[in-house]
Amino acid sequence: MSAGRLVLVAFVAALACEATHAPDQAAERPFAPTHEEILVEPRSHLLPTYPCTSCHDEREAQPTRRRLADYHRTRYDDLKHGDDAFWCYQCHALEDIDKLRMASGQLISFDEAWRLCTSCHGDKQRDFQRGIHGLTIGEWNGKKHRRSCTGCHDPHNPRFRSMTPEKPPAPVQSR
């Protein structure tokens, strides 16, 4: 298991401005909120099923924007992110296709995709860190798992997909 398998993100700084709960106070309230750890769910373990390097190792990267008719055609047809300004290597790293590249040039793992996303979507970052945006499960007062951005949004077409709803309520019967 890679070290980055579970990325423990200490969002505590942003979240727990109130983390300065005096310890004695916490002892008085056995269920005092802790917010000890929030785990952003990892994504990179999904990669080995189809590593990018299995093709890209043998090909020369073409960083120019063009129509993709062969490989990644569906990705190309479906690419709806940031109008037409986007291209693969704005996010994917030219140097190492199994990594993502921040604007600063720093290469990051797919587990930290949220860092890349929020470098543009700053408003969402603020909400994500506070637990307002995003899907969280776990315990309300303990360990929480937070879905990474790409756990819900396809980064190539980030609009939340429409869904099939559950059945409507049964008609009210007169009695």
Partner 1 sequence: MKKDEASCAGARVEKLVELRLSKDGSRRSFLKSALAAAVTGTVASGCDHPFVKDLLQKHYKELSDEDKKELFQRIEQRTHAWSGVRVKVSDPQPLDGVHWGYALNLNHCNGNRRCVEACARENNLPNDPEIRYIRVVEADNGSQHLEHGTVNYDREQVPEPGKYYLPVQCHQCRNPPCVKACPTKATWQEPDGIVVVDYDWCIGCRYCQAACPYHARRFNWTVPSIEPDRINPDQGYLSNRIRPVGVIEKCTFCLHRVRRGRYPACFEACPTGARKFGNLADPSSEVRQIIASKRVWILKEDLGTDPRFFYFYA
Out of 136, 154, 155, 156, point to the residue binding partner 1 (CB under 8 A).
136
Out of 73, 75, 80, 130, point to the residue binding partner 1 (CB under 8 A).
130
Identify whether the C-beta of residue 100 lies closer than 8 Å to the C-beta of residue 114.
no
Please tell me the number of Cα atoms within 13 Å of 81 on its side-chain side.
Answer: 19
User: Which residues have CB under 8 Å from 75's CB, separation 6+?
Assistant: 68, 156
Rank residues 72 and 145 by Cβ distance to partner 1 and give the closer one.
145
Out of 6, 79, 131, 154, point to the residue binding partner 1 (CB under 8 A).
131
Task: Based on the shown chain and the rule CB under 8 A, indicate whether residue 46 belongs to the binding site for partner 1.
Answer: no
CA distance 20 to 95: 43
89-128: contacts with partner 1 (CB under 8 A): 127
User: Which residues have CB under 8 Å from 100's CB, separation 6+?
Assistant: 91, 92, 93, 107, 108, 109, 110, 112, 113, 116
Out of 3, 8, 85, 170, point to the residue binding partner 1 (CB under 8 A).
170
User: Which residues have CB under 8 Å from 97's CB, separation 6+?
Assistant: 52, 53, 56, 61
Query: What type of residue is 174?
Result: S
The structure tokens listed for 56 are 């890209």
Task: Based on the shown chain and the rule CB under 8 A, indicate whether residue 160 belongs to the binding site for partner 1.
Answer: yes
* Binding span for partner 1 by CB under 8 A among 48-56, 57-65, 88-96, 166-174: 166-174
Task: Based on the shown chain and the rule CB under 8 A, indicate whether residue 164 belongs to the binding site for partner 1.
Answer: yes
Task: Based on the shown chain and the rule CB under 8 A, indicate whether residue 173 belongs to the binding site for partner 1.
Answer: yes
68-87: contacts with partner 1 (CB under 8 A): none
Task: Based on the shown chain and the rule CB under 8 A, indicate whether residue 67 belongs to the binding site for partner 1.
Answer: no
The residues that touch partner 1, with contacts defined as CB under 8 A, are: 15-19, 29-33, 35, 127, 130-142, 147, 152, 160, 162-171, 173, 175
